[in-house]
Amino acid sequence: MPPLPNKEFKKLVPKLREKDFYKSQEPRRISWPEYNLNQIEDAYETLRFIDNEVNKTEYMILIGQNGRPLTDPKILAKAILICEALNFTERNAQGWIKIIGPCVGIKKELDDRTIGEAYGRPEVLFILKQVFDKTKTSDGILCGDGSGLETTRKQNYESHKSSKEYMTSIVDSREVVQSFDISGQHENKAMHSLIKSVEGNSLRLDAGFIDRSLVKEMKELGIKSYIFPKKNTLLDSQGNYAWTQMYLELLRDTMQWLKEYHKRSHSESFHSAFKRKYGIITKRNPIPQLNQVTARIILHNRSRIRYFSRLDK
């Protein structure tokens, strides 16, 4: 077997980070009248989506300790989705759901305590998980990344990287979330689990995910990998064909490889938009946090899928 071109590869990697290596692009223009009309229509469609999709989930009637039936978890799931869509606190939601509730099938009054406790209900999480799984779609062009989740306005991600509030996600090129993890585990370890629950042809990751075993797993799942190399990254002649093939393609056709890799910016755009639109994570315990993040991702996915469906018309 001829020697691998590691010297040429090591010379190439530093150039990939140079500013003049890429051509600049003009920003896209925004039509503000169309944008405003879209926001008005989106409010109605959001409520209709919440009602329709939650009603499709499995129904459970639970009995409380005093023998009385607990509030229907479907109603609570709808209340949580309304809260996250409109950035309501539980106290604000108590009043607004009296007005908005009938639009999504909530015919009973919910006090702020009931809404707050709904975030901690596992059966509500079960319903939201069904909605997430059934409403997402994929174009097969996947991107992955990790990001800290703010729990206070004073928090700065750069100085709180050890925070447990951390999300690793995989999105497609439309920024529709395919899978996510907020368990607090390291993003590289989380990615090993996430790739097993997505459908796609290729996956783009930054240099923080340099991992030969991850590339091998992706190859076995039929997912082509694009992982940005580090300066000390070498081609592997020890049987890891997927790893060597990935970086030989970078060496042979650098610009085409980078064109594919830089679609990964969609994952960064998702995290930025997600935190900017929905704000800080207000829940502290694991189940309430997962309910809150899941509800927000459901709403985010609905918005992105709606946007691209309108472009196709």
What does the DSSP assignment read for 225-237? EEEPPPTT-----
Contact 200, 223 (CB under 8 A): yes
4 is a domain residue:
no
Instruction: Say if residue 266's pLDDT is above 60.
Output: yes
**Dihedral of alpha carbons 71, 77, 79, 84, sign:** positive
Instruction: Say if residue 66's pLDDT is above 60.
Output: no
pLDDT top residue among 312 and 306: 306
1 is a domain residue:
no
Q: What is the rounded distance in angstroms from the CA atom of residue 99 to the CA atom of residue 93?
A: 10
Number of H helices, E strands in the chain: 12, 5
Q: How confident is the model at residue 162 (pLDDT cuts 50, 70, 90)?
A: very low
Please tell me the predicted confidence (pLDDT) of residue 33: 82
Query: Three-state SS for 224?
Result: strand
Instruction: Say if residue 244's pLDDT is above 80.
Output: yes
Mean pLDDT, range 65-84, rounded to an integer: 84
Residues 147, 120 share a domain: no
Mean pLDDT, range 296-310, rounded to an integer: 94
Please tell me the predicted confidence (pLDDT) of residue 310: 82
Residues 161, 98 share a domain: no
Q: Chain-wide mean pLDDT for the chain? A: 89
Q: What is the rounded distance in angstroms from the CA atom of residue 15 to the CA atom of residue 148?
A: 29
Instruction: Say if residue 238's pLDDT is above 80.
Output: no
Residues 264, 145 share a domain: yes
CATH number for the domain harbouring residue 149: 3.30.420
Mean pLDDT, range 238-245, rounded to an integer: 83
23 is a domain residue:
no
* % of the chain beyond a pLDDT of 90: 69
Please tell me the predicted confidence (pLDDT) of residue 174: 97
Residues 287, 169 share a domain: no
Neighbours of 134 (CB within 10 A): 11
Angle at 53 between CA 52 and CA 54, to 5 degrees: 100
Contact 76, 118 (CB under 8 A): yes
For residue 53, the enclosing domain spans: 32-135+283-311
Instruction: Say if residue 74's pLDDT is above 90.
Output: yes
Radius of gyration of the chain (CA): 22
Indicate the burial class of 9 (C-beta count within 10 angstroms; 0-12, 13-18, 19 or more): middle
Contacts of residue 172, defined as CB under 8 A and 6 or more positions apart, other chains included, come to 138, 139, 140, 141, 142, 143, 178, 200, 266
Tokens of 229: 């190399």
Structurally, the chain folds into a number of domains equal to 2
> Cα dihedral angle (119, 125, 129, 130), rounded to 10 degrees?
-120
180 is a domain residue:
yes
Residues 36, 131 share a domain: yes
Instruction: Say if residue 68's pLDDT is above 70.
Output: no
Residues 211, 169 share a domain: yes
Residues 264, 225 share a domain: yes
Please tell me the predicted confidence (pLDDT) of residue 222: 96
CA distances from 18 to 14, 22, 210 (A): 7, 8, 20
21 is a domain residue:
no
Residues 150, 212 share a domain: yes
Residues 208, 98 share a domain: no
224 is a domain residue:
yes
Query: What does the pLDDT look like over 180-212, one tens digit per residue?
Result: 999 988 999 999 999 999 999 999 999 999 999
Residues 144, 111 share a domain: no
169 is a domain residue:
yes
pTM: 0.88
Query: What does the pLDDT look like over 99-141, one tens digit per residue?
Result: 999 999 999 999 999 999 999 999 999 999 999 999 999 999 9
Residues 178, 116 share a domain: no
39 is a domain residue:
yes
Residues 213, 190 share a domain: yes
Q: What is the rounded distance in angstroms from the CA atom of residue 173 to the CA atom of residue 267?
A: 8
